[in-house]
Structures are given as C-alpha cells and as structure tokens.
Amino acid sequence: MIEIIKQILNSDLGNAFNNAALLVFRILLAIELFRVHGMKKFRVENGQKEHVPNPLHLPEKLNGLVATFSDTVVPFFIILGLGTRLAVLPTIGVTAVGYFVVHRNDSLEVRDVPYMYTLSLSLLLALGAGTYSLDYYLLTLLNN
C-alpha cells in the first residue's frame, strides 16, 4: 500500500525550472477554475443559484455536490499540490462530461472551455504536482 501511495505522490520534472513552471501552471489554473466556476456556486443571480447540468441523471444532490466540490475545493488541493493526481479526478469527470455530453452539439467556441480544462487537468494527472508541492514533501517523509 505504501508503494502505491509513493507512486501517486512521486512527481519530479527533472530540474528546478520545470518544477517551478508546473507550480505556476497549477496555481494559475486552480485560481481560474475557482474564480470563474467555483464562485458561481456561491452567487445567486435573478433569485436563483447556478443551474448545474445533470446529463448522467445522477441524484440532483450528488450531481450538485460533485460539481461544487470540483470547482471550489479541488482548486485548493491543486494549489497546495496535495493529493493532486487523485484530487483532479472529479474535476476531469465534470469537465469531460461538459465537453463530450453537455456541449457535444455546440460550437467549438463553446466547447473550448471544458476541453481546455479537461486537457490541463489531465496533464496534472499525468505529471503530478512536481517537487514544489505537499505531495513531494509527504513523499520525502515516507522515504525517510
């Protein structure tokens, strides 16, 4: 079990510049995700909260919970680099469903946003958080 955790936490892009670039990428991506999509979850416009599409016909509360978690909590895990590979999974799910299901018949301009989020989060899934992260710190603790 410890070896699986080490593999999930392990992430080193080889040099300080690459790891710093990944840190900046993570922070900017997470801030934008929270600022644009997460903050919508707290706003009430025209007396109504944001409508979260439910194309998979999940229970409404579960659907809303996953969408809210993905846009409000996950960005903080991404910024901290804490459990990054696992943390991005629900948000990848939400954005991929947005791209492939909700917006499948929309123009490329509309489909572009969920596509770019899915692509960016998939990069974090593949690379991990890098050495400037809590994941890397926890990995060093496990190795000692």
Domain segments of the chain as ranges? 1-142
Q: What is the pLDDT of residue 50?
A: 74
pLDDT at residue number 42: 79
Q: Please give the pLDDT value at position 40.
A: 83
Residues of the chain with pLDDT under 50: none
Which pLDDT score, from 0 to 100, does residue 54 have? 85
Contact predicate 31/79, CB 8 Å: yes
Instruction: Give the model's pLDDT for residue 3.
Output: 87
Q: Residue 45's pLDDT is what?
A: 66
Among the listed residues 51, 41, 93, the one whose alpha carbon sits nearest the alpha carbon of residue 72: 41
CA dist 115 and 132 (Å) reads 26
Give pTM, 2 decimals: 0.88
Instruction: Report the pLDDT value the prediction gives residue 84, as an integer from 0 to 100.
Output: 96
